[in-house]
Amino acid sequence: MFLGDLGATVVKVERPGGGDESRGWAPPWSNGVSTYYQAINRNKRVAVCDLGSEAGRASALELCLRADVVVENFRAGTLDRMGLGSADLLGRKPDLVYCSISGFGPGAGKDMPGYDFLLQAMGGLMSVTGEADGEPLRVGVAIVDVLTGLHALVGILAALRHRDATGKGQHVEVNLLSSILSGLVNQASAYLNTGAVPVRMGNLHPSLAPYELVDAQDRPLALAIGNDVQFATFCAEVGIDEISADPRFRTNASRVENRQALIERITAALSSAPAAEWVVRLTRRGVPCGVVNRVDEAIGLATALGLAPAIEMEDSAGRRWRQVRNPISLSETPAEYHLPPTPIEQAVPLAELLSELGQA
């Protein structure tokens, strides 16, 4: 979708009948389409193709040989048996960028199915998400899928840059497990370098304090204090200036070590005013803080800040589709939104679409 936003002509091949499985991931529905499918399928021409048939494989091969980039997420070996694997296509089209996305890589995990929830569990993310005395929790969105898609995008763009310089394509491979391990950043680094296994800490940060939710007079306040200067400024604003010089709290490391005593002092100070008032006062002083917004409030915040987070698209039948704007701003080649998500009944046979593209 991001490649389509940034100017690529994208053809998404789905199976005849039901199409992409995410079309049925609902409710909620909008215009008869799953809002899940809507979220990730703008700017794509949709064609259906039966890869189980000789004609379908021939159409798919033609599409691949006409493409700059091929993206696939079949189990390892599936497309090889159809003559559509990376070796086959790169042999016939050496300047092709061929991107494979899998759950656990092409080796010993090649037959393991990859779903985001499964990878949040198996990849360690759930072990550090949730309250210390509670059960492991998944993140509220398919974050492993999102990270992997972005890694694929980076790999594809790097491969295209290489092709522009050398004329040579290549095989780009990403997998969900490697992506979430990369996404664990400091948590993975802590284990690799010390042997200490990270644990669930709720909203507490293992290396920063105060960097968590703290109760104000009416609701929690998110504090994200990242250095000692911010901490001293915070203390002065909330009326506990004296603790910024206390040896227990003077440095970040000492604050982490004495977190419980620190939070008791902060909570007592914040109880004198509502969270919204603290946000105004502390933000004015450059202290990172905020309230816990719902999704509608978060979109409202972005709108109020002039970020225009939502776009609206309309199809030929007059149906309107609202989506989140591409977050990448480019001064010369901004993202464009020209094709709303396609209902499955409007998908055309791949052979027909190839003929149309050949005339364009």
Catalytic residues: 145
Residue 16, burial from CB neighbour count under 10 angstroms (0-12, 13-18, 19+):
middle
C-alpha dihedral sign at 213, 328, 47, 168? negative
DSSP secondary structure string for all residues of 36-62: HHHHT-SS-EEEE--TTSHHHHHHHHH
Nearest alpha carbon to residue 100 among 16, 90, 188: 90
DSSP code of residue 254: H
Distance CA 108, CA 148 (A): 19
Q: How many helices (H) and strands (E) does the chain have?
A: 14, 13
Residue 295, burial from CB neighbour count under 10 angstroms (0-12, 13-18, 19+):
exposed
The CA R_g of the chain, rounded to the nearest whole Å, is: 25
